[in-house]
Structure 1
Amino acid sequence: MDHTGAHGGASWRVAAQATWHCLTGCAIGEVLGMVIGTALGLHGAATVALAIALAFFFGYALTMRGVLRAGLPLRRALKVALAADTVSIAVMELVDNAVIVAIPGAMAAGLTAALFWGALAFSLAVAFAVTLPINRWMIGRGRGHAVVHRHH
């Protein structure tokens, strides 16, 4: 499968697909962590830590699901997921959590507040935009999600 564009790097389409895949896992974990932390009244730092941990868990799990289906054994699937997603998830989590923490009142707004949900959606959109060119660069060099594509 050719993932390169006309200039030898990864195409923007492939990078967007990889970033969307990463965003899906991150968003599941991020939203779940923020909801659980907010519902339990956890401190902001504890809520962010929970959201980050769950984002990594779900991000890796989505990748592993695909490579396990492709026939890789569990240990190899985990290695592929770590190689494919660690940088992308780390960047996405750094950006989206920095954005949501920086929005005044967002973390304390509560689950029924539009500010909470709007800030969370905005933070994930910003994270996608920042992570997209990084994923394109990595895929163009055979890293990141390019590692996963070798197993499909």
Structure 2
Amino acid sequence: MDHSAHHTDTTHHHAPEHGGGHAAHQGATWGTAAKATLHCLVGCAIGEILGMVIGTALLWGNVPTMALAISLAFLFGYSFTLFAVRRAGLDLKSAIKVALAADTVSIAVMELVDNLIIALTPGAMDAHLTDGLFWSALLGGFAVAFVITTPVNKWMIGRGKGHAVVHAYH
């Protein structure tokens, strides 16, 4: 029996640059965290803008409009992940669990920061969709939310939570 052939085979499997499945849980890179946050941001932004547009078009007040915007932000945020893991072959029930585990904290932090900034920006709550103030407060809120949410996602991914759950299916 030739043991040298077996020995050379195993040395190639331990190369650290090949980032295997378990290596990803050791610590998340800022790039991974930023990508997960951007993914979340897109879903949140679509939902929130849609909610603002619908609420404004229906002449709703600030509270019901914000409630709709936040609800749609969660819905779109979850649906992006849901679509990705369903496409990876997960059944609907498991996919919903993964989306809830991956996105809840990320979306909640994103929405909290964004809506706080909109609420604290003088005149932003009463600005119309045609006003620059409305869009600058919304986009500025998302920019700050991105900066705050990225380290949260990095911390969660590093502990095998949040978007780390989704990466197991890619």
Q: Deviations over 1:52-111 (max 9, x none)?
A: 100000001000000000000001000000000000001101110111111111121111
Identity, in percent, stands at: 64
| Contiguous gaps of at least 5 residues in structure 1 | none
Distance 1:3 1:40 in 2: 46
Distance 1:3 1:99 in 2: 33
Distance 1:37 1:96 in 2: 17
Distance 1:100 1:20 in 2: 20
**Which of residues 47, 52, 61 is equivalent to 2:70?**
52
Distance 2:130 2:64 in 1: 20
Alignment partner, residue 103 of structure 1: 121
SS at match of 1:3: helix
| Contiguous gaps of at least 5 residues in structure 2 | 1-19
**Which of residues 30, 44, 49 is equivalent to 1:26?**
44
Aligned Cα RMSD in Å?
1.1
Amino acid in the other structure paired with 2:24: H
TM-score by length of 1: 0.94
Amino acid in the other structure paired with 1:20: L
Q: Deviations over 1:109-137 (max 9, x none)?
A: 11111111111110111111110100000
Structure 1 runs of 4+ aligned residues shifted over 2 Å read 1-4
TM-score by length of 2: 0.84
| TM-fit CA distance, 1:47 | 1.1
Alignment partner, residue 42 of structure 1: 60
CA contact (8 A) 1:3 1:14 kept: no
Number of positions where the alignment pairs a residue of Structure 1 with one of Structure 2: 149
Larger C-alpha radius of gyration, 1 or 2? 2
